[in-house]
């Protein structure tokens, strides 16, 4: 028996925490999401662009935000992307993640993706974003995928080294997450 809250096939959800719609952060996250989907042998990739419903996130009635929150929680693998703002992730992304209760992302394999104008901010994903994701129960089996603005002009070449190093651990974690979801569903 499978868990009805999890899709039966692998799914990839891309979340862009950039407050500007159609951003380069979104483009980088979607490119990474497509590569992850190829790695997992799925074509189930969806995008959540937080800027599209930013005004709703802090309101009591938030149908788009709640739907996005549930979609992310059902993902096999998620790319959670942000530009670096003030040496950390955006307030928009923080506000969205704050909608989750404890373990709200339990079992979701997450790749933090950070876009920075300065290589000095390369650790923003590790120091600031990873702890929040782990606190929410996400599995973060890889280092953050960090890109500088200069690398955004050739995303394929920018993503290649990260995938060369982290594809195998990511695939293993996604397989373990899927197997755990099935066992959890079978135990109900």
Please report the pLDDT score of residue 72 as a whole number.
98
Helix axes 155-186, 24-40, angle to 10 degrees: 60
Residue 26: predicted pLDDT: 98
Residue 180 pLDDT: 59
User: Rounded to an integer, what distance in angstroms lies between the CA atom of residue 107 and that of residue 177?
Assistant: 6
Per-residue model confidence (pLDDT) at position 8? 54
Q: Check: CB of residue 53 under 8 Å from CB of residue 64.
A: yes
pLDDT at 50: 98
Q: What's the average pLDDT block by block, 10 residues per block, for the chain (188 residues)?
A: 53 97 97 97 97 97 98 98 92 97 96 93 92 97 96 96 97 79 46
Burial 81-114 (b: 16+ CB within 10 A, else e): bbbbbeebbbebbbebbeebeeebbebbbbbbbb
Instruction: Give the global pTM.
Output: 0.90
């Amino acid at each position: 028996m499978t868990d009805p809250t999890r899709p039966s096939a692998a799914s990839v959800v891309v979340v862009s925490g950039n407050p500007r719609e159609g951003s380069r952060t979104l483009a980088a996250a979607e490119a990474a999401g497509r590569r992850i989907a190829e790695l997992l042998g799925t074509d189930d990739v969806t995008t959540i662009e937080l800027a599209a419903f930013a005004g709703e996130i802090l309101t009591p009635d938030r149908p788009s935000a709640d739907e996005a929150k549930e979609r992310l929680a059902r993902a096999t693998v998620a790319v959670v992307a942000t530009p670096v703002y003030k040496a950390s992730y955006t307030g928009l992304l923080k506000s969205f993640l704050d909608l989750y209760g404890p373990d709200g992302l339990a079992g979701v394999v997450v790749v933090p993706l950070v876009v920075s104008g300065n290589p000095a901010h390369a650790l923003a994903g590790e120091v600031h974003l990873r702890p929040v994701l782990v606190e929410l129960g996400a599995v973060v089996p890889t280092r953050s995928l960090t890109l500088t603005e200069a690398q955004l002009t050739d995303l394929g070449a920018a993503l290649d080294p990260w995938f060369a190093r982290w594809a195998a651990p990511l695939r293993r974690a996604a397989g373990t997450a899927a197997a755990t979801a099935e066992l959890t569903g079978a135990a109900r």
